[in-house]
């Protein structure tokens, strides 16, 4: 229960009252106990809607790699087994845990489905929490694998990128939930990736810029929303004086792999453009949103993305510097069907 409470608390507390956050947490705690240990759904107070209120994303790096491998392997085959469905099936059997050896469970599920002896519906009909894990994992991973075009070649596979450009070193560890004290004591709901000032920061997934500017906790930061509105990517502590690509504006559409900004150590100040963070790094976070009431509230859902960033390290965007503008730009041209679909809807 303690871990679940940790993962539903407010993220960066922009303009929020710590006392109010604490009172809200106490009320939420009561709701969670009423919901039961696996009652992942709760009725929203506003509007009476039923939607997921929190997510424990504990899928291991090894499980992500294996599920992805099996997805790509079966693409174009009579039975294509998606990685989200594979992960959700195993999670429903194991209560969301992915210990060492769980990759074998993924393979067994794939073999059962591909043999024609059963269907996904049959395989999961008695797994009470499969629908929850399917929806939760789709929210996390939904835009990361699919068809796309790269430099004129049609492809299927991973179309999401590590947030650090190719060729730039970085380091980090799983620091989700560690303590932060600036402003008031709170927990770190993201992943810090240490590197050098000016390292190009990459859009992990295609989406649109929802936030751009200064925040006293995150410094210069960018918030990008996925087209399905389920994921909000948060990139913080960007470079002093030159934090973003010069042409980037709120509302702009970006394609996965695009350069969006540059690493720095701004933040921890109400005054804009101040370097009060000791170590140069990117704070990278992902918020899940199942209902718009969750976007800015005291029960936001931020997940541990450490294993996910390890997985995304296999796909890094190569960049080159324009010496005239001092900007870094990607060297490959990607066409993401999700971008084209979104732009068509915007024109209607």
* Domain edge (last residue) among 104, 137, 158: 158
**In this structure, are 248 and 344 located in the same domain?**
yes
The per-residue pLDDT for range 174-219, each reduced to its tens digit, is 887 776 666 555 677 899 999 999 999 999 999 999 999 999 999 9
Residue 55 lies in a domain: no
Q: Look at residue 332 and tell me if it is in a domain.
A: yes
User: Where does a domain end: 107, 125, 158?
Assistant: 158
Same domain, 130 and 176: no
| Inside any domain, residue 50 | no
If one counts the domains in the chain, the total is 2
Higher pLDDT, 12 or 249: 249
29 and 96 both lie in a single domain = no
Range of the domain at 79: 61-158
* Residues of the chain above pLDDT 90, percent: 78
Assess contact for 193 and 170: CB atoms under 8 A. Answer: yes
Q: In this predicted model, what pLDDT tens digit does every residue of 287-316 receive, in sequence order?
A: 999 999 999 998 899 999 999 999 999 999
53: in domain: no
Residue 12 has pLDDT above 70, yes or no: no
> Is there a domain that residue 121 lies in?
yes
Mean pLDDT in residue range 117-125: 95
CATH of the domain at 6: 2.70.70.10
The answer to whether residue 331 sits within a structural domain is yes
Say if residues 262 and 246 touch (Cβ distance below 8 Å): no
* Global confidence as pTM: 0.87
d(CA 271, CA 180): 19
Same domain membership, residue 129 and residue 33: no
302 and 198 in a common domain: yes
Radius of gyration over alpha carbons of the chain, in Å?
Answer: 20
pLDDT digits over 14-39, tens only?
333 333 333 333 333 333 333 333 43
Longest CA span, the chain: 63
Domain boundary, last residue among 123, 158, 193: 158
Work out the average pLDDT over 129-151: 98
Whether 56 is in a domain gets the answer no
For residues 67 and 87, membership in a common domain is answered with: yes
Asked if residue 52 belongs to a domain, the reply is no
């Amino acid at each position: 229960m303690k871990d679940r409470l940790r993962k539903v608390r407010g993220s960066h507390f922009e303009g929020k009252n710590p006392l109010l956050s604490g009172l809200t947490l106490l009320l939420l705690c009561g709701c969670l106990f009423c919901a039961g240990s696996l009652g992942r759904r709760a009725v929203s107070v506003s509007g009476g809607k039923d939607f997921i209120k929190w997510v424990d994303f504990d899928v291991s790096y090894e499980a992500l790699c294996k599920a992805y491998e099996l997805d790509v392997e079966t693409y174009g085959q009579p039975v294509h087994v998606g990685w989200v469905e594979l992960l959700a099936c195993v999670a429903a059997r194991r209560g969301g845990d992915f210990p060492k050896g769980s990759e074998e469970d993924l393979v067994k599920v794939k073999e059962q489905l591909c043999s024609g002896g059963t269907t996904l519906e049959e395989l999961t009909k008695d797994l009470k929490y499969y629908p929850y894990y399917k929806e939760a994992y789709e929210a996390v991973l939904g835009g990361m694998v699919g068809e796309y075009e790269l430099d004129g070649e049609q492809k299927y596979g991973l179309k999401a990128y590590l947030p650090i450009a190719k060729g730039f070193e970085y380091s980090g560890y799983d620091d989700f939930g560690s303590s932060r004290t600036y402003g008031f004591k709170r927990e770190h709901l993201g992943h810090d990736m240490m590197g050098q000032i000016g390292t190009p920061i990459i859009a992990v997934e295609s989406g649109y810029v929802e936030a751009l500017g200064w925040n006293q906790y995150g410094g210069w930061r960018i918030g990008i929303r996925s087209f399905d509105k389920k994921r909000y990517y948060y990139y913080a502590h960007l470079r002093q004086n030159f934090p973003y690509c010069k042409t980037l504006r709120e509302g702009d559409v970006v394609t996965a792999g695009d350069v969006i900004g540059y690493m720095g150590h701004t933040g921890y100040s109400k005054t804009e453009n101040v370097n009060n963070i000791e170590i140069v790094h990117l704070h990278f976070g992902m918020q899940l949103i199942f209902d718009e009431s969750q976007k800015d509230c005291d029960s936001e859902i931020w997940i541990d993305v450490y294993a996910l960033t390890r997985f995304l390290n296999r796909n890094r965007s190569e960049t080159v510097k324009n010496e005239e503008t001092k900007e870094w730009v990607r060297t490959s041209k990607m066409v993401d069907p999700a971008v084209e679909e979104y732009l068509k809807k915007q024109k209607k």
